[in-house]
């Protein structure tokens, strides 16, 4: 008999996000395999979907006006041989 997911959440203080962070491949199938090997029932798919949204970074759009402008590099003037500034 498999242990209920709700029990694991309360007793072990586990959540889907925490389990997914420990897995190499963050797929539903891999999560189910991880839990079934340990004799734990699967959480609702909606919990998995929410955890994946939290783990997936949102791409940040950089507008053209926010892009860093390239400033040409100024070359250092070399000192003349034998002259002292002082």
Q: In terms of Cα–Cα distance, which of 54, 44, 46 is closest to 20?
A: 54
Helix axes 28-37, 45-55, angle to 10 degrees: 120
Task: State if pTM tops 0.85.
Answer: no
Residues 6+ apart with CB under 8 A from 63: none
Q: What band does 18 get if pLDDT is binned at 50, 70 and 90? A: very high
Query: Using an 8 Å Cβ cutoff, are 42 and 35 in contact?
Result: yes
**Alpha-carbon span 7 to 74, nearest angstrom:** 65
**Alpha-carbon span 40 to 43, nearest angstrom:** 9
| pLDDT, mean of residues 62-86 | 66
Mind listing the pLDDT tens digit for each residue in 31-61? Answer: 999 999 999 999 999 999 999 998 888 777 7
pLDDT, position 59? 77
Q: Is it the case that residue 80 has pLDDT exceeding 80?
A: no
């Amino acid at each position: 008999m498999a242990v209920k997911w709700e029990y694991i959440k309360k007793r072990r203080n586990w959540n889907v996000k925490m389990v997914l962070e420990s897995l190499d491949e963050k797929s539903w199938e891999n999560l189910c395999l991880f839990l079934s090997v340990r004799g734990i029932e699967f959480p609702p798919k909606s919990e998995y979907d929410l955890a994946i949204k939290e783990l997936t970074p949102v791409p940040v759009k950089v507008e053209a006006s926010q892009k860093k402008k390239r400033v040409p590099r100024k070359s250092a003037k070399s000192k003349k041989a034998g002259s002292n500034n002082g």
